[in-house]
Each structure stands twice: as structure tokens, then as C-alpha cells.
């Protein structure tokens, strides 16, 4: 069960903006030099996000592997930006980040330097907190993982079952987060140890349910019971797999731990259903493990707190102790326990106990319906029979159809959009925009793509109209929708839907905008192509340069085929902003990735791409240089010709770049377009006083390339060379003509 964030909507939005700004800043810091304008913009945005979240006061973020926390309250981990920011900080060994007052840009510079340090170097220097103490800024403070405990554990120290170390905290945060968690081997061993102690189980349950409180501090019993039950299930499932012979002992420990918790929470747990068919029946197991003493303890605690018995308590009591004799034994023990409390010594206890005993013992025979209501239910069948013999109106089928799910859904969409259109209050307009976002997610999850198109286009129209009611809220709603689970689930189906369904999904993605690239990346992060990758690629490329920064995570992925896909997408987009992302791929040891990066750079009409290719060609050996040229011209794409021409023009053909120029001329011959003829003619006509061997090789390669290009222009150049060229060129052309 996913834990719903208890943060306010405003705080959630601010935290999401901060998380996104942090991710962008870290990404740009790794791609560009600090003085680059892109870095300056991202740092300015991050500073603004911090200022908006903190309002100039101290503002602390807790970090778990899956989400962020504010004052112990978990943020919504389903928001991709928050989850990715949490993972980034956790991978850097950071447990908390605190911003104090207005954070200057130099502080953000220092923070980004720490976050982008190599992992081994960061730990060698003692971790982020130690580094920050010497190289940081007082407006930001960092809390890190305790390295001494980690090192001690690695050296063989066996932690106590409930030792409050980083592993314990990690287990608590993982369970409290409510996400589906796969514990590693160390965590499994710790949970196995905790399951052997009722006190440790109670401490774990208390810890995981502590955050489940309303803003006023009152406990949220339903949420607390759900998270306690989740903890019990984790313990029982791990024991059932790793040490199944201990299951009776563990159930007894769970029951003993339950008696140490709030009885209202325990009663809620015992009213839950064992709805996990693959797991252990925890609820019935705990109920069966309650002996008379444990039942009496639970009953006495509940009665002492409430001062009376309730129907709910009677239901639980009847579930645990259905036998009449056992009920009487338990009630005797309960009365004995209560006699030692202030409640049991009060003057009204005897009167209250008599009514309590009567309720608890006879509860299973108590009627739940009034006589009047029961009589009405008994007569319902007769009324139905009488109505069935009456002629029904001819319009009845149409009336029933109008109440169908599809019609009701269309009506809901129409009414909500009309409300949004007519709304004049900015605050209310923002609320309706959020409602439309939620409606869009529901429509996508249910496969109602046509209605989703209507809703997202309404948000798009408002989000692109500056100054309109709900303008900013609509834009943010579309951003959240693009990164939502509903969009990711929808993208997972694009390879299976027909053309009509794909057209509707495509319309939704177009309305949402470039934020949907986050969901589309899952469809292209595969090794082999298919309908899904083809469709997703077309959408991502269609967004143009706006999607470049979002594709960066593909280039930085550890899997070679994802890196190759990222390079391919950047090449298809053809924006100059992609060049810094592609350059690191040129140094990859996997030739498939390097080849894709070279091809992508060849498709980018920008001087920076030319310089990157030229640098590789100059540093490469003969075989590798040939491979680079082959990669550029493999597709025979005429778009690479200007790049090859520029490489030749900016190289020293008779100097250090002689081999590069020869290989590039060979590449022009392979592509074979008229655009290559002018530069080949220039190289063929080249003159020099020295270096005749290199000059001859240059002329021969140029003449051969012109012959391979063919066509009227190339033939004209060869004829002119035979007539007006220098003696060496005439001889080369003549020899080629005779052969």
C-alpha cells in the first residue's frame, strides 16, 4: 500500500520544484563548465526554489532512499522529481540537508562540487559532511551516514537486533514510506533477528507508525494500523522464507508486541483482512497466538483508556475468543488486572463492569437491524414483483444507457471543464486545475484516452495563455501529469494499442508537452527496436531541443544500449546543446556506443560538433580513425558532408593532419554527393614547394574521390584538371583515365 504524503499541497509543490531544480543543476554542472550560461541559469533557478521553500528561515530536508522528508513527514514518492532527488542525495551518503536563510550562489557552487565528486574520492575525504566543514558555506549544512558504523559493520561486527544504527533507520524509513521494498541481505538478517524479540517488534512498530499523525499531532489510527500491519507482514514473510520452523514463535512474539501498542491501533489491525494470497495470514495468525493473558491485557488497556466497552471492542473480543468458556476466563483475568488500576478502584466500576460483561459476552447474538428496517427489507421482494407486472416506459433503455459508465464519465469531464472555464477566482481556478490533473490520471489508467485528450487540451489552452485564471497551476499540472505513474503506465502500452488508440495517446502527450519525455524514456531504454520504441522516439524527437536536457539521463545510464539510444535521439534532434552530452561517449570502450555518438555528432550542424569529431580523428590511430569515418558515412547521409568539408578546411592537409584529411576525403567519396566536389577540387589543385610525397597522396586521393562521386560536376572538374592542372595532377588524372 503506497503511503499518501501528509504534506500540504503548497509545500509539496515547493518541494517538487526544489527537487527538480537540484537535479537540473547537478546534471548541468557535470555537462558544462561553471561559467557556462546554462549552469548560471540552473543555479539561479535552484536558489529561487530554496528561497521559495524556506521563506528565508531554516529549512531541513531528510533523505531516504526513496523519498524526501520535512520534519519527519514523508513526501510523495510517486512524484518522479522527488524520488530522483532523494536517490541522488542518498547515493552521495547524505541523510539530511539544511538551508539556513538566503543561500548565495557561491554556496550552491560549493554544494554542486560536493555532489559531483567521484564516490571513492568523496569517501576517502571522510564523506560530504567532512568535506563541507572545510569547503562549504554556513548557509547550508549536511548530515551524512556514520562511516564508523559502516566500516565496523563491514569488518564483521554483528549489530544487535534492535540497535538504533543506520540499518535500523533504513528499515524503519523503508517500511514507513509504504513503498514496495526489497530488503538486501543485511536488512533481512536484521529483520530475522528482530522477529525473535517481542520488545524489538514493538519498538519497530512504534517507530514506523510515529509519522502517521495529523497536522495537529493526533494519531491517524487507520494509517498507523496499516503501517504496523505492513511491518508485521515484512517480519513474518522473511521468517517464513528464511526460517519457516520459527513461525509459531514469531506469531507469539507478534501477539506479545501487539499488547504493548495502542489498543485502538491493535483493534484496527485485527479488523483488517489477510488479502495477500502469496504471503502469511498475519491477522489470523496473531489472533490465534493471543492466549488468555494477552487477550486480557489488551481488553484491560482498552477499557481503562475508554472507560467503557464499545461495539467495536466487542467485535474484536468475539473474534479472538469466540468460545464462551474462554470469554469467561478472559473476563475474570481482565477484571483482576483492572482492579489494580485507578479505573478499577473507582466507585462506578461495578456498574460499568456489569454492562461491559453483558455486552462482551452476548455480542455475537445482538441484532444489527431495527424492527422497522427489517420489515422494509422483507417487503422489498414483494414490491419488486408488483413493479415487474407494470408496463415500463419505452424510454427506459435510453434512460439506463444515460447512466452507463461511459456517459457518466463524459458528463464529469464536460462539467469540470465548464467549471474551469467559468471560474473567476484564481485560488479556486488552481484547485480545479489540480482536479483536472487527477481526472486525467484516472482517465489514462482506465484507458479512456479520448476523454483524456479533452481534459489535457483544456489544461494546455489555459497553461499557454499568460495571465489567465489558473495559468501557472495548469502548467504545473501538465508537468506533474507528464511524470506521473498514470503516464508511465500509458506509455507502457503504446506498443500494444492500435492506430486509433495511439493517435489518442499521442494527442495527450502533445498536450502535456515535453514533461512526458520522462515517461517515454522507459519505452526507449531497451536493446531491441519495436513499435513502442519507434513511436516513443518520434515523439521525443518531435519536441526538438526542449527534450535534450531530459534525454541526458539516457546518455549517463550504465547500460550500453541505453547510452546508444540516447546518442541516437540526440543525433536525430540535432541541437547544438547535445554536443557536450555526446563528447564523453566518444571515449567509451564499447564501440557500439562510440559509433552512435560519432553518428549523432555528424548529424549536428554546429562548429562544436565538428571540433569534437576533429579532436577524435587527430588523436586516433589508423584503424580507429578509419572506424570513426566509417561511422560518419555508414548511413550515407548527405547531412554529414558539411561536417566533413569543414574538417578538411580546418585541418593542415600537408602537416600534422595529413592522415585525417586523407581519411575524410575517403569518407566524402563514400557519401558521393555534389556538395563534396568543390573541396575535392581544391585539394586536387593544391600546390606546395616541399612535401611532394604527401602532396601526391593528397592529389591521388582527391582524384579517386571525384571519380567515385561521379556526375556532371565531378567529371567537369576532372577534365579541367587534365587540361589546366599542374604537371603532377595531369599525370595522376591521365593514369586514372587509362586504368
Is the confidence at residue 726, as pLDDT, over 70? yes
Question: Is there a single domain that holds both residue 130 and residue 234?
Answer: no
Rounded Cα distance, 252 and 254, in Å: 5
Distances (CA, A) of 289 to 254, 281, 284, 670: 8, 12, 9, 80
Residue 176 falls inside a structural domain: yes
User: Residue 604's pLDDT is what?
Assistant: 83
Is the confidence at residue 548, as pLDDT, over 50? yes
User: Residue 387's pLDDT is what?
Assistant: 56
Is the confidence at residue 246, as pLDDT, over 80? yes
3-state secondary structure of 304: helix
Summarize the confidence of residues 168-179 as an average pLDDT. Answer: 74
Within a 13 Å sphere around the CA of 76, how many CA atoms are in the beta-carbon half? 22
Q: Higher pLDDT residue, 475 or 3?
A: 475
Question: Is there a single domain that holds both residue 67 and residue 204?
Answer: no
Residue 413 falls inside a structural domain: yes
Note whether 503 and 511 are within 8 A (CB).
Answer: no
Closest CA relative to residue 291, chosen from 321, 268, 250: 321
Note whether 270 and 314 are within 8 A (CB).
Answer: no
- Joined grid coordinates for residue 1: 500500500
| pLDDT band per the 50, 70, 90 thresholds, residue 3 | very low
Structural domain boundaries, residue 121: 9-145
Is the confidence at residue 544, as pLDDT, over 60? yes
For residue range 35-84, list pLDDT tens digits in order. Answer: 766 677 678 878 888 887 776 667 788 888 888 887 767 887 777 778 88
- Joined grid coordinates for residue 88: 541522488
Question: Is there a single domain that holds both residue 131 and residue 17?
Answer: yes
Is the confidence at residue 459, as pLDDT, over 50? yes
> What percentage of the chain has pLDDT greater than the value 90?
3
| pLDDT band per the 50, 70, 90 thresholds, residue 288 | confident
For residue range 390-408, list pLDDT tens digits in order. Answer: 556 666 666 666 655 556 6
Residue 575 falls inside a structural domain: no
Last residue of one domain, picked from the residues 304, 337, 365: 365
Residue 598 falls inside a structural domain: no
Note whether 548 and 581 are within 8 A (CB).
Answer: yes
Question: Is there a single domain that holds both residue 222 and residue 357?
Answer: yes
Question: Is there a single domain that holds both residue 98 and residue 70?
Answer: yes
φ/ψ of residue 59, rounded to 5: -140, 120
Question: Is there a single domain that holds both residue 20 and residue 56?
Answer: yes
Buried b (16+ CB within 10 A) or exposed e, 383-402: eeeeeeeeeeeeeeeeeeee
Residue 30 falls inside a structural domain: yes
Helices (H), 650-725: 658-671, 677-684, 692-709, 711-724
| pLDDT band per the 50, 70, 90 thresholds, residue 209 | confident
Closest CA relative to residue 19, chosen from 67, 71, 73: 67
Residue 23 falls inside a structural domain: yes
Summarize the confidence of residues 428-446 as an average pLDDT. Answer: 82
Burial class (CB within 10 angstroms; exposed 0-12, middle 13-18, buried 19+) of 334: buried
Question: Is there a single domain that holds both residue 307 and residue 232?
Answer: yes
Rounded Cα distance, 100 and 227, in Å: 33
**Long-range contacts of the stretch 320-323 (C-beta < 8 A, 24+):** 320/270, 320/287, 320/290, 320/295, 321/295, 322/364
In the predicted model, what is the mean pLDDT of the chain? 76
User: Residue 429's pLDDT is what?
Assistant: 83
- Joined grid coordinates for residue 124: 576517502
How many domains does the chain divide into?
A: 3
3-state secondary structure of 527: coil
> Which stretch of 71-75, 200-204, 601-605, 622-626 has the lowest confidence by average pLDDT?
622-626
Note whether 566 and 599 are within 8 A (CB).
Answer: no
Residue 573 falls inside a structural domain: no
- With a threshold of 0.85, does the pTM exceed it? no
Last residue of one domain, picked from the residues 145, 174, 192: 145
Helices (H), 72-197: 80-91, 105-115, 119-124, 128-135, 147-154, 166-176, 185-194
Rounded Cα distance, 367 and 481, in Å: 49
Question: Is there a single domain that holds both residue 235 and residue 285?
Answer: yes
Question: Is there a single domain that holds both residue 59 and residue 167?
Answer: no
Cβ neighbours of residue 615 closer than 8 Å, sequence gap 6 or more: none
Rounded Cα distance, 471 and 475, in Å: 6
Rounded Cα distance, 349 and 57, in Å: 53
Summarize the confidence of residues 681-702 as an average pLDDT. Answer: 84
User: Residue 538's pLDDT is what?
Assistant: 92
Is the confidence at residue 301, as pLDDT, over 70? no
- Joined grid coordinates for residue 119: 564516490
Note whether 176 and 227 are within 8 A (CB).
Answer: yes
Note whether 133 and 81 are within 8 A (CB).
Answer: no
Is the confidence at residue 158, as pLDDT, over 50? no
Last residue of one domain, picked from the residues 338, 365, 392: 365
| pLDDT band per the 50, 70, 90 thresholds, residue 151 | very low
Question: Is there a single domain that holds both residue 414 and residue 510?
Answer: yes
Question: Is there a single domain that holds both residue 182 and residue 236?
Answer: yes
For residue range 347-392, list pLDDT tens digits in order. Answer: 444 444 454 455 444 444 344 445 565 556 555 555 555 555 555 6
Rounded Cα distance, 725 and 731, in Å: 9
Is the confidence at residue 507, as pLDDT, over 90? yes
Is the confidence at residue 342, as pLDDT, over 60? no
Question: Is there a single domain that holds both residue 129 and residue 215?
Answer: no
User: Residue 608's pLDDT is what?
Assistant: 83
Rounded Cα distance, 168 and 159, in Å: 10
Q: Residue written as cell 591521365?
A: 734
- Joined grid coordinates for residue 469: 485564471
φ/ψ of residue 659, rounded to 5: -65, -35
For residue range 83-125, list pLDDT tens digits in order. Answer: 888 888 888 888 888 887 778 888 889 898 888 887 778 888 8
Residue 502 falls inside a structural domain: yes
Note whether 469 and 426 are within 8 A (CB).
Answer: yes
Amino acid at each position: 500500500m503506497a503511503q499518501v504524503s501528509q504534506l500540504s499541497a503548497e509545500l509539496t509543490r515547493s518541494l517538487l520544484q526544489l527537487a527538480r531544480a537540484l537535479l537540473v543543476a547537478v546534471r548541468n554542472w557535470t555537462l558544462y563548465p561553471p561559467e557556462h550560461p546554462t549552469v548560471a541559469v540552473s543555479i539561479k533557478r535552484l536558489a529561487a526554489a530554496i528561497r521559495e521553500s524556506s521563506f528565508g528561515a531554516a529549512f531541513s530536508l531528510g533523505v531516504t532512499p526513496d523519498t524526501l522528508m520535512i520534519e519527519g513527514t514523508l513526501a510523495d514518492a510517486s512524484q518522479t522529481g522527488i524520488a530522483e532527488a532523494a536517490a541522488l542525495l542518498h547515493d552521495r551518503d547524505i541523510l539530511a540537508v539544511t538551508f539556513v536563510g538566503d543561500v548565495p550562489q557561491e554556496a550552491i557552487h560549493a554544494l554542486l562540487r560536493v555532489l559531483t565528486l567521484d564516490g571513492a574520492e568523496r569517501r576517502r575525504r571522510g564523506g560530504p559532511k567532512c568535506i563541507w566543514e572545510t569547503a562549504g558555506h554556513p548557509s547550508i549544512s549536511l548530515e551524512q551516514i556514520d562511516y564508523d558504523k559502516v566500516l565496523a559493520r563491514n569488518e564483521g561486527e554483528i549489530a544487535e537486533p534492535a540497535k538504533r544504527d543506520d540499518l535500523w533507520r533504513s528499515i524503519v524509513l523503508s517500511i514507513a514510506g509504504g513503498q514496495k521494498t526489497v530488503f538486501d541481505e543485511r536488512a533481512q538478517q536484521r529483520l530475522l533477528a528482530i522477529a525473535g524479540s517481542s520488545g524489538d517488534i514493538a519498538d519497530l512498530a512504534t517507530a514506523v507508525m510515529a509519522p502517521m499523525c495529523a497536522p495537529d499531532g493526533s494519531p491517524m489510527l487507520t494509517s498507523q494500523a496499516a503501517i504496523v500491519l505492513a511491518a508485521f507482514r515484512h517480519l513474518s514473510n522473511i521468517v517464513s522464507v528464511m526460517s519457516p520452523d520459527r513461525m509459531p514463535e514469531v506469531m507469539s512474539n507478534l501477539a506479545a508486541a501487539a499488547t504493548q501498542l495502542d489498543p485502538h491501533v491493535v483493534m484496527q489491525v485485527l479488523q483488517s483482512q489477510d488479502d495477500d494470497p502469496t504471503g502469511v495470514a498475519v491477522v489470523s495468525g496473531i489472533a490465534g497466538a493471543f492466549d488468555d493473558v494477552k487477550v486480557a491485557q489488551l481488553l484491560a488497556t482498552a477499557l481503562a483508556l475508554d472507560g467503557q466497552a464499545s461495539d467495536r471492542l466487542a467485535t474484536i473480543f468475539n473474534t479472538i475468543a469466540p468460545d464462551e468458556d474462554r470469554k469467561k476466563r478472559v473476563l475474570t483475568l481482565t477484571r483482576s488486572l483492572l482492579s489494580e488500576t485507578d479505573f478499577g478502584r473507582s466507585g462506578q466500576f461495578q456498574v460499568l463492569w456489569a454492562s461491559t460483561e453483558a455486552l462482551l459476552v452476548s455480542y455475537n447474538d445482538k441484532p444489527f437491524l431495527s424492527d422497522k428496517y427489517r420489515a422494509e427489507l422483507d417487503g422489498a421482494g414483494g414490491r419488486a414483483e408488483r413493479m415487474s407486472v407494470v408496463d415500463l416506459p419505452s424510454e427506459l433503455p435510453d434512460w439506463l444507457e444515460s447512466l452507463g459508465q461511459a456517459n457518466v464519465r463524459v458528463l464529469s469531464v464536460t462539467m469540470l471543464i465548464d467549471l474551469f472555464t467559468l471560474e473567476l477566482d484564481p485560488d479556486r481556478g488552481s484547485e480545479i486545475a489540480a482536479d483536472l490533473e487527477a481526472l486525467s490520471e484516472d482517465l489514462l489508467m482506465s484507458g479512456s484516452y479520448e476523454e483524456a485528450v479533452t481534459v489535457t487540451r483544456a489544461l494546455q489552452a489555459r497553461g499557454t495563455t499568460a495571465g489567465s485564471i489558473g495559468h501557472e497551476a495548469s502548467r504545473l499540472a501538465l508537468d506533474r501529469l507528464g511524470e506521473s505513474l498514470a503516464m508511465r503506465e500509458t506509455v507502457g502500452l503504446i506498443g500494444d494499442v492500435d492506430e486509433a488508440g495511439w493517435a489518442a495517446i499521442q494527442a495527450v502527450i502533445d498536450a502535456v508537452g515535453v514533461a512526458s519525455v520522462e515517461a517515454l524514456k522507459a519505452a526507449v531504454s531497451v536493446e531491441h527496436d519495436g513499435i513502442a520504441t519507434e513511436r516513443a522516439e518520434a515523439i521525443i524527437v518531435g519536441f526538438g531541443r526542449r527534450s535534450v536536457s531530459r534525454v541526458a539521463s539516457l546518455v549517463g545510464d550504465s547500460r550500453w544500449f541505453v547510452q546508444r539510444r540516447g546518442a541516437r535521439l540526440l543525433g536525430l534532434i540535432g541541437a547544438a546543446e547535445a554536443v557536450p552530452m555526446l563528447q564523453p561517449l566518444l571515449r567509451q570502450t564499447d564501440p557500439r556506443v562510440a559509433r552512435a555518438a560519432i553518428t549523432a555528432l555528424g548529424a549536428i550542424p554546429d562548429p562544436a560538433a565538428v571540433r569534437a569529431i576533429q579532436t577524435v580523428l587527430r588523436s586516433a590511430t589508423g584503424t580507429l580513425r578509419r572506424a570513426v569515418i566509417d561511422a560518419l558515412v555508414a548511413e550515407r547521409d548527405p547531412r554529414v558532408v558539411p561536417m566533413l568539408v569543414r574538417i578538411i578546411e580546418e585541418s593542415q592537409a600537408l602537416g600534422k593532419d595529413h592522415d585525417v584529411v586523407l581519411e575524410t576525403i575517403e569518407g566524402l567519396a563514400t557519401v558521393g554527393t555534389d556538395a563534396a566536389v568543390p573541396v575535392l577540387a581544391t585539394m586536387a589543385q593544391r600546390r606546395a614547394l616541399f612535401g611532394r610525397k604527401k602532396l601526391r597522396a593528397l592529389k591521388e586521393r582527391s582524384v579517386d574521390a571525384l571519380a567515385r562521386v561521379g556526375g556532371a560536376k565531378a567529371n567537369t572538374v576532372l577534365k579541367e584538371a587534365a587540361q589546366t592542372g599542374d604537371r603532377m595532377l595531369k599525370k595522376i588524372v591521365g593514369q586514372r583515365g587509362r586504368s
